[in-house]
Amino acid sequence: MTIPFLFLPATAAIILVILLITQITTTTRYKKRMREFIGWLQLVRKWCNRQYLRMQQCREQLEIKNRETLQTDFLCSQSLLLPELQDHNILRKHSLALKPATIKKILRIRDQTMIQQYRLYDFWSYYSAECQTLKTQYFNSISALCGINDQLRQHFNGKPTDNSPAGSWIQEYCSIFSEWSDKGAHKDEATVYNMIIVKVIQLNRQHANIPFTALTNEHSLKCQLAYQHLQQLDSLLGNRLQDYAYSCKLAARTIGVLCPKTRTIKIVHPYKPLPSNNPIKNFLYTHKKAIYRLVLIKATLALLLILLTTLRSNQTATRNSTAIGNILEESMIKSDDQLIEEAIPLLLTKPVTTVYGLDISRYQGKLLNEMDSLDTFHFLIFKATEGNEYTDPDFNSNWKTARQKGIACGAYHFFHNNVDPVLQARHFLATLPQLGQWDMPPIVDIEQGSLKAATDIPTLNKNLLIFLNYVENKTGRKPVIYTGLAFADEYLINPDLSVYSLWLAEYNGKTQPELPHLWKEKGYIFWQKKDTYRIDSKNTDFDVFNGDMAAFHQFLHQSSSHKPFSRFQGTAGY
């Protein structure tokens, strides 16, 4: 027994050295990550300052109507796009060293800046094309008015005109262009408009019955409409530039406040206590390293003694422990099989050829509690949210009741076209409970009631794809689109939408529904055959799955074969 007790102090010393090296390595790694994070913040801050100055230059060029320089400055700002803004790994690596409120603030600033940036660049594409068309129309009409002036001058060639209304009109019309030519014949839009267009329109109003006014009126009014439209576009672009510049300035200032605080963050482990006014706690905090070392040495000695005692156990005890281990392993395997069987909803174990379901919202009230039996239905879909604020008051209770009755559950979000799609997706995911293997994938409902404002079809499709991609990335499940036949053919035109499964509302009374253009080849996954199905004197929607129970199992398995979804993952924001 002498050798083991001489061996214990040396082993304890080696373990202590290993623990100290591990602590030093961990601290060094944390410091390195913090330096990387500070460098990232400084890089983002410099980018925001550059974008702010560039937007101010664009606004100055817009005010003096220098569109060529404005286009050059704006294209330069587009080349300054920063991919580091989308680097989620930076925040994940420092989620333990930073406060959650700080991370949320950084994420909120980043999202606001990127949203303003995408809106500005989308509007710029429309602005540049529209300006080119309007300027062409404007200067073509000006050229036509100048051509009329030249023709009149060549015709009279210095001859005096009579005092008739037509002669007076010709004299005044030619004098307008003479005055413009004497002052340098500037061709900028504002000068031409004030010196020619305004005066020609006033002249034509004074001589309304002169034959010359018909042609000049047409060209002058075209110039006036084009000029006013250009002014409106400049005003809208100025507002977008101002909003984006303000977002960049706010982001730069906020990060400027966060950078000094980040430099002073101490790298501490979660188990280390914080200072307190209690003298005993302060003493423990001051001498914590010595206390930890003493505790670790004693714990190491105790573990080594237990290890030596265990090694002296006889062969009979070893065989008994092996037998016990085999018994435990068999019991664990059996309990796992039982859990798997219990995880399958009861009504999904019946081998039926047609799978039926209902979709329910608060308008049906406490329908699930009032129904005596649900044996004929295999899935239920509940309305969860709408827009970025509304939550169905009966959603949680309906979901819990359906789970208890052994039915597959699904949830849908009612989409609004006038609300930011990312905000809607976050609201939807924050409301969803944790999805299990036998729960249906998330669903988005888009129909005529979703159009709360004037609708631009490409923008509507783009925002819907943003919503679907966000939900799919956060949940790992490909969402389902609910819509009607007429609405889909008119509004859902982007081919990228066809990769998502279709839940079609189509009440033709036939054995198969008529499919929208985008889903002609892929087909539908659910069909809402009726919207007047009556249960206990209440109307509800009646749905059918496109396949038998085996196909329904396969659909649920495929939709849940990605990463699991939890409420924390859905609301973290990155």
Q: Does the pLDDT at position 448 exceed 70?
A: yes
pLDDT tens readout for residues 352-361: 788 888 888 7
3 state DSSP class of 440: coil
Report the C-alpha gap between 363 and 393 in whole angstroms: 10
> With 70 as the cut, is the pLDDT of residue 428 above it?
yes
Residue 89's pLDDT band, with cuts at 50, 70 and 90, is low
Positive/negative CA dihedral, 286, 292, 295, 301: negative
- What is the structure's pLDDT at 543? 86
Are the C-beta atoms of 445 and 487 separated by less than 8 Å?
no
Its pTM surpasses 0.85: no
DSSP string, 403-430: HHTT-EEEEEEE--TTS-HHHHHHHHHH
Whether the predicted pLDDT of 379 surpasses 90: no
Q: Characterize the bridge pairing of strands 526-535 and 538-545.
A: antiparallel
Averaged over 109-131, what is the pLDDT?
83
What's the rounded Cα separation, in Å, for the pair 291 and 43?
42
Tokens standing for residue 107: 């994420």
For residue 212, what are its two tokens?
């010359």
Residue 268 is predicted with a pLDDT of 36
The pLDDT score that the predictor gives to residue 348 is: 66
Burial of residue 172, with CB atoms counted within 10 A of its CB: 0-12 exposed, 13-18 middle, 19 or more buried: middle
Q: Which residue has the higher pLDDT, 472 or 368?
A: 472
- The three-class DSSP label of residue 503 is strand
Residue 483: strand pairing partners: 504
**Does 477 have pLDDT greater than 50?**
yes
* C-alpha–C-alpha distance, residues 67 and 57, integer Å: 12
Residue 297 has φ and ψ, to the nearest 5°, of -65, -45
DSSP-assigned states of every residue in 66-117: -HHHHHHHHHHHHTT--GGGG-HHHHHHTTTTS-HHHHHHHHHHHHHHHHHH
DSSP line for 250-286 = HHHHHHHHHHHHHHT-----TTSPPP-S-HHHHHHHH
Residue 42: is its pLDDT beyond 60? Answer: yes
Q: Give the residue carrying structure tokens 């050829």.
A: 353
- The answer on pLDDT for 207 being more than 50 is yes
pLDDT at position 323 is 46
How big is the chain, counted in residues?
A: 574
Q: Going from the N-terminus, what domains does the chain have, and what CATH number goes with each?
A: 132-252 (no CATH), 356-560 (3.20.20.80)
| Mean predicted lDDT score pLDDT of the chain | 75
What percent of the chain clears pLDDT 90, i.e. is strictly above it?
17
Whole-number Cα distances in Å, 149 to 158, 263, 325: 13, 72, 107
Of 332 and 133, the structure prediction assigns the larger pLDDT to: 133
> What local confidence, expressed as pLDDT, does residue 410 receive?
92
Give the gyration radius of the chain's Cα atoms.
Answer: 37
